[in-house]
Amino acid sequence: MRLLDLLLPVRCAVCAAPGGELCAPCLASLPPLRPPLCERCGAPSAWPVARCRECGGRRLAFATARAAVAYDARVRSLVAAWKERGLRGLARPAADVVAACVRARPGADALVAVPADRERALTRGHHPAHQLADELAARWDVPLLTLLERPVAAPRQRGLPSSERRRNVARAFRARDRSPARVVLVDDVYTTGATASAAASALRAAGARRVEVVTFARALRVG
């Protein structure tokens, strides 16, 4: 055992138990999203629907969105540790959970991660969405392409209502090159779909005919 591990033992991002970045009990307790789900945005529903109240009436640039787990307090702690505390090893169990819960292997030409804002990427020193996409690319045997960029920094999405989120990320992304026809767009958390739709719109402008969104977690609408 390294001296650093003795002085600063690695603790679970969820329960703070020593021994690893995500302990087995907390991994097993993550709340999977199970059917029935909205066919378009992946929101839980009482019965299968083509559009739900979250995505009905909205113009979304992606064809479908699917997430592995609900964004509850445990998952929020995990994602915060992954993003803000630099626990890069959490990408592996997160990808395992996605691969287990989002069961249909995407018949895609490529995976593309939603790019981070440059300042936040420099501050964190890593990018969870890209790490997750890299892990999924290996599991699904689909190439990971760096097609998108954020040319201009945008204010943080956290805490903004849906309408402001959509305005905040409008035209925030652009493609560096032509896109393959079918792309799986990967991010860590789906909140309102505004970021995913803006990124998908840039991919479609670059030639993608179908964009499917896959995320580790999904915020659930209350009420």
Q: Can you give the CATH number for the domain in which 59 is found? A: 3.40.50
Residue 108 domain-assigned? yes
Quote the radius of gyration of the chain (alpha carbons, Å). 17
In the numeric block, which tokens belong to residue 36? Answer: 């029935």
DSSP-assigned letter for residue 32: B
Residue 26 in any domain: the answer is: no
State residue 3's pLDDT score. Answer: 43
Which is nearest to 212 in space by CA: 113, 65, 50, 69?
A: 65
Its domain, for residue 52, covers 32-218
3-state class (DSSP) for residue 9:
coil
pLDDT of residue 155: 57
Pairing label, strands 148-149, 174-175: antiparallel
Q: How far apart are CA 192 and CA 211, in angstroms?
A: 17
Q: Is residue 9 part of a domain?
A: no
Closest by CA position to 87, among listed 76, 79, 95, 75: 79
Share of the chain above pLDDT 90, in %: 71
Six-digit token string for 50: 């083509």
Mark the ranges of the chain whose per-residue pLDDT is less than 70. 1-8, 104-106, 119-124, 153-168, 170, 222-223
**Residue 166: per-residue pLDDT:** 59
* pLDDT value for 1: 42
Give the residue carrying structure tokens 């860590």.
188
CB within 8 Å of 175: residues ≥ 6 apart = 147, 148, 149, 202, 203, 205, 206
Per the structure, the count of domains in the chain is 1
- Check if the beta carbon of residue 95 is closer than 8 Å to that of residue 184: no
In this prediction, residue 10 carries a pLDDT of 85
Within-domain flag for 181: yes
